């Protein structure tokens, strides 16, 4: 009664019961106890929700993430090489490492086109026309900020230890970084901004352990400095380096210098593999493989940006129809088009004369990488086939072609005579009758036999997002030859590829198709039987012993562990009824020969028995909810019982029946244990062809991957789970839609 708010309490104390303040306390204590339990109830609910979140988290965490991939053959390189080969093979194309020769060739032919470093264009700018690409003509601004599509940085690379031991190299780089912007425009390239130059200077200062404040530079006077200095690399950087060498010598440098224009790749090789060059010059950044090679010989490359080059796309000054091109036009001009009019009908009907740099210069690589798509799967099929042909042995190629041809009208590895002979012979190749390979199949062959990706390490999603820098560091140290890629394990390739023992090539195609076949047959068998039984029990069955037994039995069956159904299926469908389930009874031997009764049909029949009780029970519920007036109405019109059921009862129970059926089918879709027992194949790579085919299903596939020790297979399992859950979700969404539609109609 201490509390003003509770003064309404009855005045008379009741014998035996707490009264007054005691009563207040008692009730408060009871409420507190209730609140404690209320919190506990809420907490228990949260456990379930947390479990669901943890489950989804685990799956997503594994289905995406960084992976370190090593390739036997770098796919990018393959594509570039292939494109270059195509370009060089054309007889109207002139290729030379000497850019001056290219310039001279273009000048004199109004129908010529070519490209080379901007510097060479400047030397002959009077006789050449510079083309805008995608509407942008190169100038200092758009080249450095990269809006001009064909611009690229120029680099020198060296190593701290080399600079320490080789005074000539150290002083030369110092001199380079001091004066390059005074010369570069004259040579024909674009100067770097002050900021980027000072960044390069900072690298030099660090290599020399000079602790100067940012922005302060320690130019060294080269007068009298000597020693021997070897530079190798890009032909694009070459003229600039030559200019710097001339100037440093004029300033009193007395060293012994060699400067070779061999192309960026060769230059990096000389620096990183042979260790012959002290400085490498390049027109592209060093890639991870090159870094790794350097590390192997104890060199840690230091990168000095020295300028920017732009590729000049030029035509002769005599050309009167071209001032600008698009990237799409460029692709056509340098590959398939024969005449200018092939590219654009407004252009003259004259053959295109092409002038391009040779393969050793980084310039051609750069052009190809920038203008052409370089992802393997974006290439047209013929290109893929020719890459394949270039990179596999003829024997292997013939085997691939004998399994399935690459083209309908053309042979790649066989001659016409050989093929005709084999196909007319006693044991014709499978490829003689099969339709030609699809692009996916070619891509898969390329992956398996040429690029041969090999995942050496994987990281989960959350660390991949949060600790990317640390992971990059780790990957560089542990797997120098690998490239780090953000990988979505769920991808279109994953959906399209069949099972494979190489995790990076494996997919769920066969498993998904297997699941769909199995589930379709399961539904086909169990739906009519289940609905029939439900109708019998609800509409016909009288209350006698047998019918009660059936009813009890059905609910007991619903509680039998699914693996028991697997044993039933194994003994009955796989073993006893093998002639039927393997298809031999129907002469379907070709497909069933190896399946041994372990077929889609056996699996479906097993699952059908498994879900039958669920369909029956939900069907009964749906039928029970149909009002009796409907039945009486039908009967009163003189319809027989079946006519009434068929035209009145079933239609109005149908949505309920379908909902139950769909839910039980989603149960079948997720079922694993009985299928393992019935003998799902552990490894099949061919699509199931029918009810008598061997099979695997998505859950079985998940089980197998989960049981593998290698971590990549866990990623695959997670990805397959994502696919499975999406399938289930769409099934359930259908059920919900049906239910809602039903509810609306009933309302």
Partner 1 sequence: MATQSSVPPIATETFSAESLTKRPRIGEALIQVFLFSCGIISIFTTIGIVIVLAEEAIKFFALPQVTLLEYFTGTKWQPAIGYFGVLPLVLATIMISGIGMVVALPIGLLTAIYLSEYASPRARNILKPLLEVLAGIPTVVYGYFALQFMTPVLRSIFGVQQVQIFNVASAGIVVGILIIPLVTSLSEDALSAVPRSLREAAYALGGTKWETARQIVLPAGLSGVTAAFVVAISRAVGETMIVAIAAGSGPRNFEIGKDSLFGFIFNPFVAGETMTGHMVRISGGDLSYNSVEYLSIFSIGLLLFVMTLILNLIARRIVTKYREVYE
Partner 2 sequence: MTLNSYAQNKHLAVEADKMSVYYGGFRAVKEVSLQIPQKAITALIGPSGCGKSTVLRSFNRMNDLVPTARVEGAIHYHGNNIYAPNVDPVEIRRRIGMVFQKPNPFSKSIYENVAWGARINGYKGNMDELVEASLRQAALWDEVKDKLAESGFSLSGGQQQRLCIARTIAVKPEIILMDEPTSALDPVATLKIEDLIQELKENYTIIIVTHNMQQAARASDFTAFFNMDADRAGYLVEFNETNEIFTNPKHELTEQYITGRFG
Q: Which residue has the tokens 């005599």?
A: 318
Q: Is the Cα dihedral 550, 552, 553, 559 positive or negative?
A: positive
CB proximity list for 717: less than 8 A, separation 6 or greater = 62, 702, 705, 706
Assess contact for 433 and 590: CB atoms under 8 A.
Answer: no
Q: Is 33 in the site for partner 2 (CB under 8 A)?
A: no
**Residue 6 site contact among partner 1, partner 2, none (CB < 5 to 8 Å, cut-off depends on kind):** partner 2
Q: Is the Cβ of residue 22 or residue 72 nearer to partner 2 in the bound state? A: 22
* Nearest approach, Cβ of residue 624 and partner 2 (Å): 26
Tell me which H or E stretch contains 94: strand 93-96
Q: Is the Cβ of residue 258 or residue 643 nearer to partner 1 in the bound state? A: 643
CA distance 322 to 320: 6
The residues in 547-606 that bind partner 1, with binding defined as CB under 8 A, are 547, 549-550, 552-557, 559-568, 570-572, 575
Among 20, 21, 31, 421, binds partner 2 (CB under 8 A): 31
**Residue 481 site contact among partner 1, partner 2, none (CB < 5 to 8 Å, cut-off depends on kind):** none
CA distance 81 to 73: 12
Q: Which residues pair with 565 in a beta bridge?
A: none
Q: Is the Cβ of residue 411 or residue 529 nearer to partner 1 in the bound state? A: 529
* Nearest approach, Cβ of residue 37 and partner 2 (Å): 14
* Nearest approach, Cβ of residue 17 and partner 2 (Å): 6
The SS3 call for residue 356 is strand
Among 1, 20, 26, 746, binds partner 2 (CB under 8 A): 26
Q: Which residues pair with 136 in a beta bridge?
A: 133
**Residue 522 site contact among partner 2, partner 1, none (CB < 5 to 8 Å, cut-off depends on kind):** none
Q: Is 435 in the site for partner 2 (CB under 8 A)?
A: no
Assess contact for 163 and 170: CB atoms under 8 A.
Answer: yes
The residues in 712-731 that bind partner 1, with binding defined as CB under 8 A, are 714, 717-718, 721, 724-725, 728
Cα distance between the two ends of the chain:
54
* Nearest approach, Cβ of residue 11 and partner 1 (Å): 18
Assess contact for 534 and 616: CB atoms under 8 A.
Answer: yes
Closest to 388 in 3D by CA, of 412, 365, 419:
412
Q: Is 2 in the site for partner 2 (CB under 8 A)?
A: no
* Nearest approach, Cβ of residue 743 and partner 2 (Å): 21
Site string for partner 1, 658-687 (x = CB under 8 A): -----x--x--xxxxx--xx-x--x-----
Q: Which residues pair with 339 in a beta bridge?
A: 351
The residues in 16-75 that bind partner 1, with binding defined as CB under 8 A, are 30-31, 33-34, 37-38, 40-45, 47-49, 51-52, 54-55, 57-59, 62
* Nearest approach, Cβ of residue 563 and partner 1 (Å): 5
Tell me which H or E stretch contains 18: none
Beta strand 256-261 pairing with 151-159 = unpaired
The residues in 668-697 that bind partner 2, with binding defined as CB under 8 A, are none
CB proximity list for 702: less than 8 A, separation 6 or greater = 672, 717, 720, 721, 724
Q: Is the Cβ of residue 325 or residue 727 nearer to partner 1 in the bound state? A: 727
* Nearest approach, Cβ of residue 578 and partner 1 (Å): 10
CA distance 340 to 113: 10
Q: Is the Cβ of residue 5 or residue 415 nearer to partner 2 in the bound state? A: 5
**Residue 58 site contact among partner 1, partner 2, none (CB < 5 to 8 Å, cut-off depends on kind):** partner 1
Binding window for partner 2 (CB under 8 A); candidates: 3-11, 154-162, 325-333, 654-662 = 3-11
Among 258, 641, 710, 730, binds partner 1 (CB under 8 A): 641
Q: Is the Cβ of residue 393 or residue 553 nearer to partner 1 in the bound state? A: 553
Q: Is 458 in the site for partner 1 (CB under 8 A)?
A: no
Q: Which two tokens stand for residue 652?
A: 């109005």
* Nearest approach, Cβ of residue 504 and partner 1 (Å): 20
Show contacts of 88-95: CB within 8 Å, 24+ apart: 88/356, 88/359, 90/354, 92/338, 92/351, 92/352, 92/353, 92/354, 93/354, 93/355, 93/356, 94/353, 94/354, 94/355, 94/356, 95/355, 95/356, 95/357, 95/358, 95/359
CB proximity list for 610: less than 8 A, separation 6 or greater = 562, 565, 667, 668, 671, 674
**Residue 5 site contact among partner 2, partner 1, none (CB < 5 to 8 Å, cut-off depends on kind):** partner 2
Among 112, 384, 537, 649, binds partner 1 (CB under 8 A): 537
Number of residues that bind partner 1 (CB under 8 A): 88
The residues in 610-639 that bind partner 1, with binding defined as CB under 8 A, are 612-613, 616
Q: Is the Cβ of residue 187 or residue 615 nearer to partner 1 in the bound state? A: 615
Assess contact for 78 and 387: CB atoms under 8 A.
Answer: yes
Q: Is 14 in the site for partner 2 (CB under 8 A)?
A: yes
Binding window for partner 2 (CB under 8 A); candidates: 19-27, 172-180, 209-217, 321-329 = 19-27
Q: Is the Cα dihedral 287, 289, 290, 296 positive or negative?
A: positive
The residues in 90-109 that bind partner 1, with binding defined as CB under 8 A, are none
* Nearest approach, Cβ of residue 240 and partner 1 (Å): 55
Q: Which residues pair with 355 in a beta bridge?
A: 94, 114
Q: Is the Cβ of residue 401 or residue 538 nearer to partner 1 in the bound state? A: 538
As a 3-state breakdown, the chain gives helix, strand, coil percent values, each rounded to 5, of: 60, 10, 30
The SS3 call for residue 233 is strand
Q: Is the Cβ of residue 30 or residue 478 nearer to partner 1 in the bound state? A: 30
CA distance 403 to 411: 13
Number of residues that bind partner 2 (CB under 8 A): 17
Q: Is 11 in the site for partner 2 (CB under 8 A)?
A: yes
Assess contact for 82 and 387: CB atoms under 8 A.
Answer: yes
Among 1, 2, 9, 90, binds partner 2 (CB under 8 A): 9
Among 409, 707, 745, 747, binds partner 1 (CB under 8 A): 707
Among 2, 10, 47, 89, binds partner 2 (CB under 8 A): 10
Beta strand 324-325 pairing with 132-133 = parallel
Closest to 550 in 3D by CA, of 537, 535, 559:
537
Site string for partner 1, 505-534 (x = CB under 8 A): -----------------------xxxxxx-
Tell me which H or E stretch contains 551: helix 545-557
* Nearest approach, Cβ of residue 294 and partner 1 (Å): 38
Q: Is the Cβ of residue 138 or residue 613 nearer to partner 1 in the bound state? A: 613
Among 1, 20, 21, 30, binds partner 2 (CB under 8 A): 30
* Nearest approach, Cβ of residue 36 and partner 2 (Å): 16
Q: Is the Cβ of residue 155 or residue 565 nearer to partner 1 in the bound state? A: 565
**Residue 55 site contact among partner 2, partner 1, none (CB < 5 to 8 Å, cut-off depends on kind):** partner 1
Q: Is 732 in the site for partner 1 (CB under 8 A)?
A: yes
Closest to 208 in 3D by CA, of 165, 179, 258:
165
Closest to 401 in 3D by CA, of 380, 432, 370, 425:
432
Assess contact for 434 and 404: CB atoms under 8 A.
Answer: yes
**Residue 26 site contact among partner 1, partner 2, none (CB < 5 to 8 Å, cut-off depends on kind):** partner 2
**Residue 571 site contact among partner 2, partner 1, none (CB < 5 to 8 Å, cut-off depends on kind):** partner 1
The residues in 379-398 that bind partner 2, with binding defined as CB under 8 A, are none
Closest to 614 in 3D by CA, of 571, 565, 574, 647:
565
CA distance 177 to 219: 9
Q: Which residue has the tokens 């470093």?
A: 117
Binding residues for partner 2, rule: CB under 8 A, are: 5-11, 14-18, 23, 26-27, 30-31
């Amino acid at each position: 009664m201490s509390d003003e708010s509770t003064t309404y309490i009855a005045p008379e104390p009741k014998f035996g019961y707490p009264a007054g303040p005691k009563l207040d306390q008692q009730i408060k204590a009871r409420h507190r106890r209730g609140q404690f339990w209320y919190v506990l109830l809420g907490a228990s609910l949260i456990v379930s929700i947390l479990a669901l979140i943890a489950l989804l988290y685990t799956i997503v965490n594994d289905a995406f993430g960084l992976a370190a991939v090593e390739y036997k053959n770098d796919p990018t390189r393959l594509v570039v090489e292939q494109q270059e080969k195509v370009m060089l093979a054309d007889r109207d194309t002139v290729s030379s490492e000497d850019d001056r020769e290219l310039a001279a060739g273009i000048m004199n032919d109004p129908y010529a086109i070519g490209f080379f470093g901007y510097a060479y264009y400047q030397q002959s700018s009077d006789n050449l026309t510079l083309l805008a690409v995608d509407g942008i003509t190169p100038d200092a601004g758009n080249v450095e900020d990269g809006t001009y599509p064909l611009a690229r940085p120029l680099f020198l690379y060296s190593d701290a230890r080399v600079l320490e031991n080789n005074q000539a190299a150290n002083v030369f780089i110092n001199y380079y970084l001091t004066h390059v912007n005074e010369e570069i425009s004259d040579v024909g390239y674009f100067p770097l901004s002050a900021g980027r130059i000072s960044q390069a200077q900072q690298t030099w200062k660090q290599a020399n352990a000079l602790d100067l404040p940012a922005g302060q530079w320690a130019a060294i006077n080269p007068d009298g400095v000597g020693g021997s200095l070897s530079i190798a690399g890009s032909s694009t950087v070459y003229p600039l380096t030559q200019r710097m060498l001339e100037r440093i010598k004029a300033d009193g440098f007395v060293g012994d210098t060699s400067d070779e224009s061999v192309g960026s790749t060769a230059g990096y090789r000389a620096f990183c593999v042979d260790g012959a060059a002290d400085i490498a010059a390049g027109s592209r950044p060093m890639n991870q493989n090159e870094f790794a090679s350097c590390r192997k010989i104890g060199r840690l490359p230091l990168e000095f940006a020295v300028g920017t080059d732009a590729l000049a796309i030029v035509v002769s000054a005599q050309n009167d129809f071209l001032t600008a091109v698009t990237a799409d036009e460029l692709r056509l001009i340098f590959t398939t088009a024969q005449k200018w009019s092939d590219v654009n009908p407004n252009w003259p009907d004259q053959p295109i004369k092409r002038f391009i740099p040779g393969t050793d210069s980084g310039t051609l690589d750069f052009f190809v990488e920038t203008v052409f798509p370089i992802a393997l799967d974006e290439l047209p099929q013929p290109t893929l086939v020719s890459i394949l042909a270039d990179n596999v042995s003829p024997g292997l190629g013939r085997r691939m072609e004998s399994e399935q041809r690459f083209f309908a009208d053309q042979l790649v590895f066989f001659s016409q005579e050989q093929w005709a002979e084999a196909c007319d012979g006693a044991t014709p190749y499978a490829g003689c009758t099969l339709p030609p390979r699809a692009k996916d199949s070619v891509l898969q062959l390329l992956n398996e036999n040429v690029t041969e990706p090999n995942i050496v390490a994987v990281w989960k999603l959350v660390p991949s997002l949060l600790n990317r820098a640390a992971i990059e560091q780790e990957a560089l140290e542990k797997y120098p030859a690998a490239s780090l890629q953000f990988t979505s394990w769920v991808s279109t390739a994953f959906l399209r590829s069949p099972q494979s023992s190489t995790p990076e090539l494996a997919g769920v195609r066969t498993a998904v198709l297997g699941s769909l076949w199995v589930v379709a047959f399961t539904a086909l068998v169990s739906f009519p039987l289940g609905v029939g039984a439900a109708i019998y029990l609800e509409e016909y069955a009288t209350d006698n012993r047998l019918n009660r037994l059936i009813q009890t039995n059905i609910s007991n069956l619903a509680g039998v562990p699914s693996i028991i159904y697997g044993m039933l299926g194994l003994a009955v469908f796989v073993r006893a009824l093998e002639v039927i389930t393997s298809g031999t009874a129907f002469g379907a031997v070709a497909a069933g020969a190896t399946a041994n009764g372990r077929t889609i049909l056996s699996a479906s029949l097993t699952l059908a028995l498994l879900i039958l009780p669920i369909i029956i029970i939900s069907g009964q519920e749906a039928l029970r909810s149909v009002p009796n007036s409907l039945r009486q109405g039908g009967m009163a019109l003189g319809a027989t019982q079946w006519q009434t059921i068929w035209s009145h009862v079933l239609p109005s129970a149908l949505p309920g029946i379908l909902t139950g059926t769909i839910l039980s089918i989603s149960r079948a879709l997720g079922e694993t244990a009985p299928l393992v027992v019935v003998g799902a194949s552990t490894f099949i790579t061919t699509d199931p062809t029918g009810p008598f085919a061997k099979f695997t299903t998505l859950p079985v596939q998940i089980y197998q991957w989960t049981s593998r020790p290698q971590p990549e297979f866990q990623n695959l399992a997670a990805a397959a789970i994502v696919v499975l859950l999406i399938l289930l979700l769409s099934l359930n969404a259908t059920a919900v839609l049906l239910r809602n539609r039903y509810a609306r109609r009933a309302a």
